[in-house]
Structures are given as C-alpha cells and as structure tokens.
Amino acid sequence: MLFLNHYTRLVMGLAVLLGQWGFTDGLYAQPTESSLSHLEPPFGQQVLIRMESYSFTPSDVFVEVDKPVTLTLSNESFLVPHNFLLDDPNGIRLVDVDISSGDTRAVTLTLTEPGIYPFYCDKKLLFFPSHREQGMEGRLIVR
C-alpha cells in the first residue's frame, strides 16, 4: 500500500469523482450513495457488510453479474472512522465512501464484468499500520 499524504489523497479523490462523471459508456452504472433515510425502496441484490475494527463481515461477498447490487455499509466500530474502497479487477477505483463511527451508508452499482473486486479500508492513525494492513479487507466476487 502506498503511503499518501492528505493532499495526494484529496487529488486522488477528485480524480475518482471526475472519472465517474465521465463514465457514460455503460460499462458500469454510476455508483450512487445516499444515507439510509433517503434510500429508495431496496432493489436488486442486497448485501449488508458490517465494518468493525479491523474487519469486514462478510469478507467474501458473492454477487451476480449485470444485476444491480446495493451494498449497505455499517460502521459498528466505537469512535473509529472507516472507509470502503472498491476497485475493479484492473485496480480502477469504483467506490470511495467514508463512514463515520455508528453510521450506515448505501452504495448501489451494477458490475458488468465477472471477476474479483477487492475492497478494503485504508484509514490509518498516525504511524500505526493501515486498517487494511490489520486485516480490514475483503473481496466482491462477481460471477
């Protein structure tokens, strides 16, 4: 994992946003986020992922290709912020969501390519290892 300062991460975040705005070719549906209070009635595949210090449960998530999936991300850690980063099999960032302690966020997306999509949390405190390095990672297996 790269060591990035805040400035670099901000630039990366902007690049991800710009990349998503440009994603009009239908390869991926544009990920949408909402707080639960604004969430439309659930549709497609539903997956609840619990985030703790330092793990995702479940860490292996199986979803069907070409069908919308809503990932409901629940940070159940006490006072520990987490994020949910999802990359495609080629390492392209698809989702980057911060979830505060006690919060729940939902992300809906449609994945059109079978494969293994790694997800993880890259938060870190000072000089400690990142949450990912402490085991906070998993796989979205699309088939």
Q: Where on the chain is the footprint of Cu ion (CB under 5 A)?
A: 82, 121, 123, 131, 136
- Residue with smaller CB distance to Cu ion, 96 or 142: 96
Q: Which is nearer to Cu ion, 61 or 136 (CB)?
A: 136
Strand pairing class (68-75; 104-110): antiparallel
- C-alpha 114/C-alpha 83 separation (Å) is 24
Instruction: Tell me whether residue 110 or residue 117 sits nearer to Cu ion (CB atom).
Output: 117
122 vs 142, beta carbon nearer Cu ion: 122
For residue 123, the minimal CB distance to Cu ion (Å) is 4
Report in angstroms how near the CB of residue 127 gets to Cu ion at its nearest. 16
Using the CB atoms, write b or e for 18-29: b if 16+ within 10 Å.
eebeeeeeeebe
| Shortest CB 34 distance to Cu ion, Å | 21
**In 3-state terms, what secondary structure has residue 28?**
strand
Tell me how far, at minimum, the Cβ of 82 lies from Cu ion, in Å.
3
Check if the beta carbon of residue 29 is closer than 8 Å to that of residue 20: no
